[in-house]
Amino acid sequence: MTKNIHIIGICGTFMGGVAKLAKELGFHIQGSDQNTYPPMSTQLESLGVKLFNGYDVSNLDDDIDIVIVGNTISRGNPELEQVLNTKLPYTSGAQWLAENVLHNRWVLAIAGTHGKTTTSSLLAWILEECGYQPGFLIGGVPENFGVSARLGNSDFFVIEADEYDTAFSDKRSKFIHYQPNTLVINNLEFDHADIFSNLAAIQTQFHHLIKVVPENGQIIINAEQVAIQEIIDQGCWSELKKFNFRAPLNSTPNKPDFQITKNNNSGSQFTLNHENTQVSCEWSLIGEHNLNNAVAAIAAAHHVGVQLSDACKALKQFKSVKRRLELKAKVNEISIYDDFAHHPTAIESTIKGLRANISQQNIDEQAGNKHESNNKSAQLIAVIEARSNTMKMGVHKDTLKGAVKEADFTFFAIPENASWDTQQLSGNTIELINNVDDLINEIAKIAKPNDHILIMSNGAFSDIHNKLIDRLQLTFIIH
């Protein structure tokens, strides 16, 4: 008999993926959420999932067999209170996933503060191109697949392993439930200040994760990250592999197992070195942070048998991920990008990546056309919505300004309920504007042809991308 599942908080990237997998398994799915926006709302609608806008007891039909409670749902939510009052069976998304999808699979988990979505997408695509037909659940929509999750047709399952807590009643990190055979830890910094008191608290959860990797499994870590090595030093019972791209190839005694050498300014061309093998790679992504993502994905794929040369061939066909430096539009030669970055390190690396790409375009155009490139005078305008709980608490207040130093001009939109003096961010090339309409007006005043406008937010940002596109089209028609 088909089971009826109700998901509270269904429109988050993780819970939306759980809904997709449950649907594939034959469950009847419905769910509720407070805010819905693409790409997850689009995916759910295409699946025929019944969505309730807002939380209400009436959303819980009498024929519901089990409720999956999203990790953003707290006591006081009317649907959760009804579940508890009536003793309706419930579980977390991570627990349901472990019991219904992952229990008999070779799980490849991608963990870390930054780059999880891109690295998971890269790994899934490499496996797909090499004939492995993996399942996956990713916190975004890889453009090569068009969906954030699928069951797949093999034993292999790629999952973005988030360190955020599991549910209102289970404060362990979600990734504890996954018991991976292959684990990647890409980087580790302090984040999620709403649930973790410091970096050590996060490291404790990662140490628990390492404990559940089997002896015949493999842990792949970024060799440059001291915080990760500190976790390994607490105990490691699995095979350990290291990667990076900055260390000299002959560095000892801690020479990484996988290394990347950047062959051009943007990072779109690089050489991969592993043991006695050297492979040249070319792809469409840019930035040093994505080189780390690439080598991590290649190393994980290699653990299940993928040849390095085949992995590099797959990278050449990779199309990136929705909301990861995604080019939304070009209006009168002004490029408008959407990116999910919301931590200072991710913001800085994304800006640096785009800056390097602009410089590379300038080099390529000059080499090809033998005359001065239009990109030479292009502005990089960063627009950042600092909406995460960690941002509102001011945890990153001392590093935000430095994170945007390579942008020509930066606009910050910081919620009025932020608990710190946001005016300390102001400067000659930095302006604080909370109202989206006012923000769009100011951007339109300074934007000119060949400029690049990089919009960064982990939310919908009041549909600023489409509003800005409309405004720039109107501005240039008037002029």
Does some domain include residue 424? yes
Give the pLDDT confidence score for residue 313 in this predicted structure. 96
Tell me, yes or no, whether 109 and 233 share the same domain: yes
236 is in which domain, residue-wise?
Answer: 104-316
Give the pLDDT confidence score for residue 192 in this predicted structure. 73
Q: Is the pLDDT of residue 141 over 90?
A: no
Give the pLDDT confidence score for residue 245 in this predicted structure. 62
Tell me, yes or no, whether 134 and 268 share the same domain: yes
Which of 296, 316, 336 marks a domain boundary?
A: 316
CATH number (domain holding residue 68): 3.40.50.720
Tell me, yes or no, whether 161 and 75 share the same domain: no
CATH number (domain holding residue 391): 3.90.190.20
Does some domain include residue 30? yes
Token pair listed for 170: 């289970």
Q: Is the pLDDT of residue 335 over 80?
A: yes
Please give the Cα distance from 451 to 440 (Å, whole number).
15
- Average pLDDT rounded to a whole number, residues 25-31: 95
pLDDT tens digits, one per residue of 412-447: 988 777 777 778 777 889 988 888 999 999 999 999
Which of 58, 93, 128 marks a domain boundary?
A: 93
Does some domain include residue 99? no
Token pair listed for 422: 């946001």
Band of residue 478 on the pLDDT scale cut at 50, 70, 90:
very low
Tell me, yes or no, whether 275 and 348 share the same domain: no
Does some domain include residue 71? yes
Give the pLDDT confidence score for residue 323 in this predicted structure. 80
Does some domain include residue 98? no
Task: Please state, for a pLDDT cut of 90, what percent of the chain lies above it.
Answer: 61
Give the pLDDT confidence score for residue 316 in this predicted structure. 94
Please give the Cα distance from 143 to 322 (Å, whole number).
7
Tell me, yes or no, whether 180 and 305 share the same domain: yes
pLDDT tens digits, one per residue of 35-60: 766 667 777 888 899 999 899 999 99
Which of 316, 350, 383 marks a domain boundary?
A: 316
User: Bigger pLDDT: 171 or 474?
Assistant: 171
Tell me, yes or no, whether 457 and 363 share the same domain: yes
Tell me, yes or no, whether 147 and 210 share the same domain: yes
Band of residue 191 on the pLDDT scale cut at 50, 70, 90:
confident
Q: Which residue, among 364, 414, 404, has the nearest Cα to 380 in the 3D structure?
A: 404
Count Cβ atoms below 10 Å from residue 91 Cβ, excluding itself: 20
User: How open is the CA angle 19-22-23, to the nearest 5 degrees?
Assistant: 85
Tell me, yes or no, whether 126 and 269 share the same domain: yes
What phi, psi does 159 have (nearest 5°)?
-135, 135
Tell me, yes or no, whether 19 and 50 share the same domain: yes
User: Bigger pLDDT: 116 or 474?
Assistant: 116
Least confident of 9-13, 187-191, 245-249, 445-449: 245-249
Q: Is the pLDDT of residue 114 over 60?
A: yes
pLDDT tens digits, one per residue of 284-312: 888 888 899 999 999 999 999 999 999 99
Tell me, yes or no, whether 109 and 78 share the same domain: no
pLDDT tens digits, one per residue of 352-397: 888 888 877 766 666 665 445 455 578 999 999 988 877 777 778 7
Tell me, yes or no, whether 130 and 198 share the same domain: yes
Does some domain include residue 142? yes
**In total, how many domains does the chain have?**
3
Q: Most confidently modeled of 91-100, 347-356, 396-405, 470-479? A: 91-100
User: Bigger pLDDT: 235 or 389?
Assistant: 235
Tell me, yes or no, whether 435 and 333 share the same domain: yes
CATH number (domain holding residue 240): 3.40.1190.10
Does some domain include residue 321? no
Does some domain include residue 150? yes
How far, CA to CA in Å, does 78 sit from each of 31, 71, 328? 14, 15, 38
- Average pLDDT rounded to a whole number, residues 192-206: 89
